[in-house]
Structure formats: C-alpha cells, structure tokens
Amino acid sequence: MTSSQPLPDENEIRDVIIIGAGPCGLAVAARLSEETPSAVFTDEEHQRYHWIKKHSGKMSLAQARHNKIGGLRAIKWDSEKQCLCDDRGRRDSTNSTSSVPSLTESSSSPSSSTLVLDGSGDKWMQRWNNAFKTLEIQQLRSPMFFHVDPGDRDGMLAYTQETGRDSDLWEIPNCVGKEMSKHKKKKRRQGGKNQTIGGEIDERDRKDYFSPSTDLFADYCDSIIDRYGLDEPGQILQREATDLSYGYLSDNSTSKVFTITTSTGEKFYSRTVVLAIGPGGAGVSKIHPWKPTSEQEGSAACCHSMEIKQFPSPGVAQKIQRRQETNVVVVGGGLSSAQIVDMAVRKGVTKVWFLMRSGLKIKHFDINLSWMGKYKNWEKATFWSADTDEERLELLQTARNGGSITPRYTKIVKQHAARNRASIHPCTEIKTHEFNPATQTWSLTTDPPIPDLPPIDFIYFATGAKADVREMPLLREMNDQYPIEVKSGLPCLTNDLSWRNDVPLFMTGRMASLRLGPGAPNLEGARMGAERVAWGIEEVLQKSEKADEQCEGFCGLGNRYASLVDE
C-alpha cells in the first residue's frame, strides 16, 4: 500500500475473511461459532458432557463469556494455575453456576469481525445449490456422516429423525457387511471367526450408509446457518476476490495483515484469511479435451458441466420442440457425466453418445471404500505417517483413481442404452473435431472409431477441473513473496493448513489434500479441514492479545475442558 492511499481504520481490519461461501466456507464459519465441537470430544467426553448438561443445576460449572468472533471462552484462569495448554495442568474451574451450552441450541452469531466473500452470490451454498438444481440431481453421493455440522457427527441423522424426513434417505446398497455382492465375498478363517474381505462397512454402522436427498441436505445446512446466526445482513458479500497480498500497511505498522482486492476495486483487510473455493471457483481451470473457441463455448456448441446455465442448450431445445432428431455427446467418466446423460435422455434428446477416456469404473463413493469403512483409521494413519509429500500424493491418486459412477447411475445409463437412447463408449477419445457454424453441428472422429457417428448438436465436457496454486491469479503475489513447495498443483501446507508458519492464509477443500487425505474435497474433508483451520486461527489471534488472555480460546479449547470438570 502506497502512502497516498488512506490507511484502513482499525475497525475495518477483520479477524477472519473467508473466501468462498460453499460447504468448506460454511464448515469453517460454523466451527468458529461452536463452543463444544464434536470433533475434539471422545465418546467418554461426550457422555460426560451430556451428563453435566442434564444435571447442570446441581453442580458448579465454568463461567463462559463471548469473544469477538462469536464463540465462547472459558473464564479467565488464575495466572498462578497451570495453563490449559499444558496437558499436565489441573483442569479445575473457579466457582460458577452457568449452564453448559446445548449442541442444538442457538449460539450467538459472529460479529462483523468475520466476513465472507463469494463471487456467485451473497447466500451460503448458492453455487452448490444452483448446480444441483440445474442438473436436477435428487441425491447426494455422500453418506449421512459427511456434512458440515461441527457440533455432532450424527447431526444429519438426528435432524432427519427429528423432522420426520426418513423418506428423504436413499439406502446405499451392497455396502454394509454381508450385503456385499457374492462375487466380492472372499472369506477367510481368522481367529476362529469368518471375516469378509474387501473393505466392507461394519454392520453396526448400517444406519450411516444412507445418502440424503439434495433437499434434505440443503435444509440441514439452513438449520446450521440459523443455529449459528450465520445469515446476518452484510456478513456475506457477492465479491470476486482477484488479488491477495500480505504485509505491513505502513512503516509504523507492527503486524502484517492481508489485503484482498475484488473485481470491483474494493479492498478488504484481515488478520487471517481462509481460502475455501470449490472446483468452480475463481482461478480453477476447467479441463477440456481441447480448447473451444469463444464462439463455440457456452450455449452455442459446447459447454463444460460446471458452466451449465440452461439444459438442454437453446439450439437443442428448439430442435426437440420441433420434433427433430438430436444427438448429444457427453465426455467424462465421473458421476456428473452419467447424470448429464440421464437428464439429456429425460429431456427428449434422441440419442446421447457417452465417451469415456478410461474404462467404466463403478464405485459407491469417489474414494475407495477402505477409506470410509472399519479400516479407515489404518488408511489414514498410513497417509499421515508417510515420510514425504510424494508418498502422500501417490496415496491420494490411488485412493481416488479418477472419475467413477455409482451403481445406481450405472444401471440408469445402461437402461437408456438398452432402449437405444444412449451409447456407451469406454476407453474412447475424440480424435478430430470440426464445428460447422451454418448447421450448428459437430463432425467428430474417435479412437477407436464409432461406426455411423452422426453430426452432433452439442457437446458437454464433464471432465472436471484442476486447481494449481502456482497458476491461480488470486495467489500470484503470495507465490512471489512467500513461495512454498508444490506437488502436482497441490500446496505443501502446514499441519494447521496454513500457507506457511509465518503466513496465516489457510486453505481447505481440495487444496488441503496433502494434509487431510483423499477425502479433502468431500464434505468430510470440509469438516475435518474446518477443525484444523479453527485451531490455527485461534493460535494466530491469540498472539495479538494481551498476555493474560493468551490461554483463552474461542475454538472450544478452554470451554471444552471447562465443561468437563468434577464438582
């Protein structure tokens, strides 16, 4: 910042700015507001917590007070007692009679010290909800325990039961215990008991392996937003962040702050920043088999699945209305491609040509079942204990292994193919492509050749996206001024998911994969990432507080132990 520019008022420097109002951003905002996060409780602590809550009027509890970010702190501890941060310290409290906050009762909302910037809208989950609505997706792929609620791992299941929405649950078949298909059952004798091999889920977890409808998930997210008061006016601004810098605002400044510049030219200032952009966010490059021209891309001839605004495209819709033959190509091997194939057939397209570069991979989830079942702790321990990020990258690639389609949508697409409404072509690539502006159709050749491939009216690229921190315009200055190591576009973050120990830029979602594991881009990764980010933000902000407040925490640290004390 040059001297000719006015310095921001202290009140304009926020504690936290979250870039992205999707699931990862919502998970962080909710976690910063949760006094008793389930992620940091053991089962025994949860039992103790609920016992204290039940008998809250019969014993003395730690007095809590609100802090400027909206969570709760434990009461100030006597300076002569050992700090809460010391595991050897005694976890006793001073006299108090306040009650323990409920996991389901409303918490106070964050103050103006927290701001959210999102280029797609001024509401939480706007891009996410629009994408599901556009593609008419009725069901999430994730199981019930994948969500953004920091208060309770089984929160969505409880919400479903409380609201009587059992009909909004879709069972994930052939996933739990002995319900695995016969050709995958390989039994061996071990310890006198039969054991099913193949990464199946424990029978006791059957209730978890349902997936919610998109409406149920959206309503559950709304309940989380309402619980924490995260929908206050002005808390989310529709702004596209275009530049991010970190440094001193003037020669007299004693600490560095972030300056975020938006496409409107506005500047926002913050002590910490959380980058929580998804695959459709700014600076994320869509993957195409070839680069379409500006005239072709969009509604004219082709479109990436992340940019669909109208389905089918206007030209195809007009042909369908005139009862003319229509042919559409869908390129991709993931779940989105299968959903587009299904929707195109349902909307009246004569035939859909489904092209996959690799073979057809059928999986319940986009990561291997072993990362979600009863052996997941072994997989995670292997990942976290890897010696290098190169090893972790290899584990990531093995666990995700490219795009895959659920058994349900595989069956749907094959049914369309049986009725000659779809044609499935695995291990097939487009070799040549030529667009005719006069007829508004494509002439394609493929490898291997597809016999009698007709002129194509429209092409959908469901080929995903790739984010490389070295190529994101938003992070240009961070890469120049504070370089870090990068592996295949993924940053080698600290364990707290910060850019560097001296740069409190936190990243969650796919960009945190080298620290969180293959589940990082999923809803589970959103919640896990929010937990680490919250602890990291707490540590950064504590450094700027007075000495007698250094051991107080807004992320549940003090309050967690203050509520788990004996009389």
Instruction: Write the pLDDT tens digit of every residue in 401-459.
Output: 888 899 999 999 999 999 999 999 999 999 999 999 889 999 999 999 998 899 999 99
Which pLDDT belongs to residue 379?
A: 83
Q: Is residue 44 part of a domain?
A: yes
What long-range pairs does 305-311 form, CB within 8 A, spacing at least 24? 305/135, 305/332, 305/336, 305/337, 305/340, 305/460, 305/461, 305/462, 305/463, 306/131, 306/279, 306/280, 306/465, 308/134, 308/135, 308/460, 309/134, 311/134, 311/135, 311/343, 311/344, 311/347
Q: Domain of residue 483: give its range.
A: 1-161+215-284+467-567
In terms of domains, do 424 and 566 share one?
no
Quickly state the pLDDT bin for 10 (edges 50, 70, 90).
low
Would you say residue 234 has pLDDT above 70?
yes
Q: 134 and 35: one domain?
A: yes
Q: Fill in the amino acid letter for 561.
A: Y
231 and 136 in one domain? Answer: yes
The string of pLDDT tens digits covering residues 40-54 is 554 455 455 444 555
Residue at which a domain ends, from 449, 464, 479: 464
Is the residue at 197 inside a domain?
A: no
Give the contacts of 8 (CB within 8 A, at least 6 positions apart).
249, 267, 269
Same domain, 349 and 236: no
Residue 408, in any domain of the structure: yes
- Contacts of residue 329, Cβ cutoff 8 Å, sequence gap at least 6: 352, 353, 355, 442, 444, 456, 458, 459, 460
* Coil vs helix vs strand at 468: coil
End-of-domain residue from the set 446, 464, 482: 464
CA atoms of 52 and 46, how far apart (whole Å): 10
Range scoring the smallest mean pLDDT among 21-30, 287-296, 437-446: 287-296
- Per the omega criterion (within 30 degrees of 0), is the bond before 233 cis? no
Does a structural domain hold residue 376? no
3-state secondary structure of 29: helix
The answer to whether position 95 is within a domain reads: yes
339-355 pLDDT, tens per residue?
999 999 999 999 999 99
pLDDT number for residue 38: 67
Q: What angle do CA 202, 203, 207 make, to 5 degrees?
A: 105
Specify whether 460 is located in the same domain as 471: no
> Looking at residue 548, what is its pLDDT?
35
Per the model's pLDDT, the better-predicted residue between 16 and 112 turns out to be 16
| For residue 253, pLDDT beyond 70 | yes
Q: Is the pLDDT of residue 2 over 60?
A: no
Q: What is the mean pLDDT of residues 2-23?
A: 77
Count of residues for the chain?
567
User: For residue range 176-201, what is the model confidence (pLDDT) as tens digits?
Assistant: 543 333 333 333 333 333 333 334 54
- 279 assigned to some structural domain: yes
Least confidently predicted of 381-385, 390-394, 471-475: 381-385
Residue in 513, 551, 557 with CA at minimum distance from that of residue 535? 557
Burial of 469 (0-12, 13-18, 19+ CB in 10 A): buried
Whether 33 and 18 have beta carbons less than 8 Å apart is answered as no
Q: Give pLDDT, residue 284.
A: 65
- The pLDDT-based confidence of 467 (bands split at 50, 70, 90) is confident
Separation of alpha carbons 452 and 454, rounded Å: 6
What is the SS3 assignment for 249-286? CCCCCCCCEEEEEECCCCEEEEEEEEECCCCCCCCCEE
Domain count, the chain: 2
Q: What distances in angstroms separate CA 259 from CA 254, 422, 472, one per listed residue?
A: 16, 51, 17
Do 414 and 324 sit in the same domain of this protein?
Answer: yes
b/e per residue 256-280 (b: at least 16 CB within 10 A): ebbbbbbeeeeebbbbbbbbbbbbb
More confident residue, 250 or 102: 250
Q: What is the mean pLDDT of the chain?
A: 78
Weakest mean pLDDT among 17-26, 111-120, 264-273, 394-403: 111-120
Tell me, yes or no, whether 224 and 319 share the same domain.
no
The answer, yes or no, to whether residue 20 has pLDDT greater than 90, is yes
Domain final residue, candidates 415, 446, 464: 464
Residue 318 in 3-state DSSP? Answer: helix
The pLDDT score that the predictor gives to residue 106 is 36
The reply to whether 168 falls in a domain is no
* Cα 274 from Cα 28, distance rounded (Å): 8
Instruction: Please state which of the ranges 106-110, 171-175, 258-262 shows the lowest mean pLDDT.
Output: 106-110
Considering the domain architecture, whether residues 150 and 7 belong to the same structural domain is answered as yes
Same domain, 362 and 430: yes
Verify cis geometry, omega within 30 degrees of 0, for the bond prior to 437: no
Residue 386 · residue 456 · CB < 8 Å: no
Shared domain for 277 and 290, answered yes or no, is no
Point out which residues pair with 432 in neighbouring strands: 445
Residue type, 452: D
Which range, 104-108, 295-299, 552-556, has the best average confidence (pLDDT)?
A: 295-299
Percentage of the chain surpassing pLDDT 70? 72
Q: What is the pLDDT of residue 191?
A: 36
Whether 542 contacts 74, CB under 8 Å? no
Measure the N-to-C terminal CA separation of the chain; round to a whole number of Å.
55
In a domain, 196, yes or no: no
The answer on pLDDT for 313 being more than 50 is: yes
Tokens read off for 389: 């990020």
d(CA 225, CA 159): 14
pLDDT at 22 over 70: yes
Residue 278 and residue 322 in one domain: no
Answer whether 0.95 is exceeded by the pTM.
no
Is pLDDT larger for residue 511 or for residue 401?
511
Please state the rounded mean pLDDT for residues 322-337: 95
**Predicted local distance difference test score (pLDDT) of residue 92:** 33
Do 319 and 453 belong together in one domain? yes
For residue 141, the tally of other CB atoms under 10 A from its CB is 21
β-partners of residue 195 are: 188
What CATH number has the domain bearing residue 525?
3.50.50.60
Considering only CA atoms, which of 553, 202, 312, 43 is closest in space to residue 561?
Answer: 553
Q: In the numeric block, which tokens belong to residue 405?
A: 């389609």
454-481 average pLDDT score: 92
For 329, the 3-state DSSP assignment is strand
**pLDDT at residue number 67:** 38
Q: Burial level of 344, CB count in 10 A (0-12/13-18/19+)?
A: buried
